[in-house]
């Protein structure tokens, strides 16, 4: 449990609050590059850390992310005309480039220099690996993009999706650190109904995992985040270790199962205090994703639901930021909970891993009152990550420490791992190399 004060520090992302200030020191992935498919494509509404913004790709292909309100009289730049190297407000024709510079002010007399005095708030954007990232902080020069392994591999080795979750970002993130819930939330009542290995065949490690619902947890903090290791009995002289990674400020990866499997993880981006943009990535560090793997992500496998939420992106009304990213299995319809399925075959009765996660996390309310919790031994990872985040925010705003990892992109090249170790081995030492990213080399996953 957390105090009410710490709960606020942990969860709230306003620009003047500790966590909001800390988060603004990191690059933030906020759209697929294909959401702005070509020069001059339609502007989109975006909301990040509680700020309403307009994203566009100008006629030269550059990405802009501007304040929603035109600095003149506040009309929304969402309506803007995407013209020659800038976005032009439809109200009086003021035109801004991706840097926020006012290029034209046609309702002012030609001799006026007013346009040189007005800028619109603009956040720098870059594209990498099919994703658009922005930086909402004030440090100059800009830090480098984090070298996340999925972002370093060729395009055909990667699959990305996103959806909106209607609860706080930390609540969402915690689900990815909590490695014990899959024995329950995502499980079947009978072995024959169990979710298949997502990719390839079930391994011996997965058998160990499914056999033991109460692993022992250990954590290790480091310069970029927290390692969360779950230990299960394997053979009489071995333990089976599964190691998740949390990387500042909102990245998580978890070990896959299967033979030479792709690796998956999430980016839990705060839209505002009450909503999260949930990124899901799957990649193989060594080879292109196969057709069966892509099929499992899009449509599922062996009668299971698609691994990635399949949304009809941006086809819904545009009036709302990320309007098309709200799944149809939602709080308003109880995620299509099927009580008969719950009684007879599945532990939960909601179809699809992502929907199962969304259901329990949203059911806590927008921001859970963590002072009402009762954390057990399976929550060791959650406790460590919360503490890491709160300490980082506090020390940053007090001027005692830089944002962990923000200045060191290479530390982000990291992986999950799953290992079989002798009972007296140190997992941290033994897994050290396996936990580093090695684009071009397969994961170490038993």
Q: Can residue 359 be called a binding residue for a copy of itself (CB under 8 A)?
A: yes
Q: Can residue 378 be called a binding residue for a copy of itself (CB under 8 A)?
A: yes
Comparison of 57 and 158: residue with beta carbon closer to a copy of itself: 57
Q: Say what the alpha-carbon torsion angle 64, 69, 74, 75 is, to the nearest 10 degrees.
A: 70
Q: Which stretch binds a copy of itself (CB under 8 A): 28-36, 88-96, 155-163, 392-400?
A: 88-96
Q: Alpha helix locations (H) across 102-249?
A: 169-177, 204-211
Q: Cα 68 vs. chain centroid, distance in angstroms?
A: 24
Cα–Cα distance between 420 and 286 in angstroms, integer? 22
Q: Can residue 295 be called a binding residue for a copy of itself (CB under 8 A)?
A: no
Number of residues that bind a copy of itself (CB under 8 A): 69
Q: How far is the CB of 301 from a copy of itself (least distance, A)?
A: 22
String of contacts with a copy of itself for each residue 142-181, x by CB under 8 A: --------------------------------x---x-xx
Comparison of 318 and 397: residue with beta carbon closer to a copy of itself: 318
Interface residue with a copy of itself, options 15, 114, 302, 344 (CB under 8 A): 114
The CB density around residue 286, as the number of other CB atoms within 10 Å, is 15
Q: Can residue 112 be called a binding residue for a copy of itself (CB under 8 A)?
A: yes
Cα–Cα distance between 276 and 250 in angstroms, integer? 11
Cα–Cα distance between 252 and 50 in angstroms, integer? 22
- The secondary structure of 289-300 as a DSSP string is PPHHHHHHHHH-
Helical (H) or strand (E) element with 362? helix 353-363
Report the site for a copy of itself in 23-82 (rule: CB under 8 A): 40, 42, 69, 71-76, 78-79, 81
Q: Please name which of 173, 125, 167 lies closest in space to residue 29, comparing C-alpha atoms.
A: 125
Q: Residue 95 phi/psi, 5° resolution?
A: -125, 135
Cα–Cα distance between 426 and 438 in angstroms, integer? 22
The DSSP symbol for 356 reads H
Q: Can residue 368 be called a binding residue for a copy of itself (CB under 8 A)?
A: yes
Interface residue with a copy of itself, options 141, 236, 303, 317 (CB under 8 A): 317
The CB density around residue 169, as the number of other CB atoms within 10 Å, is 28
Beta bridge partners of 86: 83
Which structure tokens are listed for 225? 């985040």
Query: What beta strand segments (E) does 15-61 contain?
Result: 27-32, 44-48, 51-57
Q: Which stretch binds a copy of itself (CB under 8 A): 127-135, 245-253, 327-335, 424-432?
A: 327-335
Interface residue with a copy of itself, options 6, 8, 84, 108 (CB under 8 A): 108
The DSSP symbol for 278 reads E
Q: Can residue 109 be called a binding residue for a copy of itself (CB under 8 A)?
A: yes
Comparison of 216 and 436: residue with beta carbon closer to a copy of itself: 216
Q: Can residue 407 be called a binding residue for a copy of itself (CB under 8 A)?
A: no
Q: Can residue 365 be called a binding residue for a copy of itself (CB under 8 A)?
A: yes
Q: Which stretch binds a copy of itself (CB under 8 A): 23-31, 201-209, 300-308, 360-368?
A: 360-368
Interface residue with a copy of itself, options 110, 141, 236, 303 (CB under 8 A): 110
Q: Can residue 326 be called a binding residue for a copy of itself (CB under 8 A)?
A: no
Confirm if 313 and 325 have CB atoms less than 8 A apart.
yes
Comparison of 72 and 286: residue with beta carbon closer to a copy of itself: 72
Q: Give residues in contact with a copy of itself (CB under 8 A).
A: 40, 42, 69, 71-76, 78-79, 81, 90-93, 105-110, 112, 114, 117-118, 174, 178, 180-181, 183-185, 213-214, 216, 317-319, 331-334, 337, 339, 342-343, 347-350, 356, 359-361, 363-365, 368-370, 372-379
């Amino acid at each position: 449990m957390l105090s009410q004060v710490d709960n606020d520090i942990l969860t709230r992302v306003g620009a003047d609050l500790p966590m909001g200030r800390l988060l603004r020191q990191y690059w933030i992935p906020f759209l697929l590059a294909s959401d702005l498919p070509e020069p001059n494509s339609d502007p989109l509404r975006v909301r990040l850390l509680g700020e309403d913004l307009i994203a566009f790709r100008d006629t030269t292909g550059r990405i802009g992310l501007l304040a929603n309100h035109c600095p003149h009289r506040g009309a929304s730049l969402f309506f803007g005309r995407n013209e020659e190297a800038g976005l032009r407000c439809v109200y009086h024709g003021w035109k801004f480039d991706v840097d926020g510079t006012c290029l034209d002010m046609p309702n002012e007399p030609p001799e006026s220099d007013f346009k040189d005095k007005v800028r619109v708030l603009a956040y720098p954007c870059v594209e990498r690996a099919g994703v658009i990232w922005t930086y909402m902080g004030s440090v100059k020069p800009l830090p480098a993009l984090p070298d996340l392994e999925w972002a370093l591999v060729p395009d055909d080795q990667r699959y990305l999706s996103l959806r909106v979750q209607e609860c706080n970002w930390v609540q969402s993130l915690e689900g990815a650190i909590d490695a014990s819930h899959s024995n329950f939330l995502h499980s079947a009542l009978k072995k024959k109904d169990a979710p298949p290995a997502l990719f390839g065949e079930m391994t011996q490690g997965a058998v160990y995992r499914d056999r033991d619902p109460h692993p022992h947890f250990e954590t290790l903090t480091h310069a970029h985040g927290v390692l969360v290791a779950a230990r299960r009995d394997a053979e009489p002289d071995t333990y089976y270790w599964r190691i998740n990674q949390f990387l500042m400020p909102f990245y998580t990866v978890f070990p896959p199962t299967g033979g030479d499997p792709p690796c998956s993880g999430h980016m839990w981006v705060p839209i505002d205090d009450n909503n999260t943009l949930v990124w899901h990535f799957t990649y193989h560090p060594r080879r292109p994703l196969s057709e069966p793997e892509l099929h499992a992500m899009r449509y599922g496998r062996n009668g299971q639901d698609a691994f990635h939420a399949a949304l009809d992106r941006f086809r819904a009304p545009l009036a709302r930021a990320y309007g098309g990213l709200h799944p149809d299995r939602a709080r308003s319809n109880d995620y299509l909970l099927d009580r008969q399925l719950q009684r007879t075959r599945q532990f939960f009765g909601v179809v699809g891993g992502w929907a199962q996660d969304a259901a329990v996390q949203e059911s806590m309310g927008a921001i859970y009152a963590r002072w009402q919790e009762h954390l057990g031994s399976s929550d060791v990872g959650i406790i460590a990550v919360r503490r890491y985040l709160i300490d980082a925010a506090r020390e940053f705003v007090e001027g005692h420490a830089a944002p962990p990892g923000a200045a060191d992109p290479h530390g982000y090249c990291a992986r999950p791992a799953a290992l079989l170790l002798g009972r007296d081995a140190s997992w941290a030492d033994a897994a050290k190399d396996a936990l580093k990213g090695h684009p071009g080399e397969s994961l170490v996953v038993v």
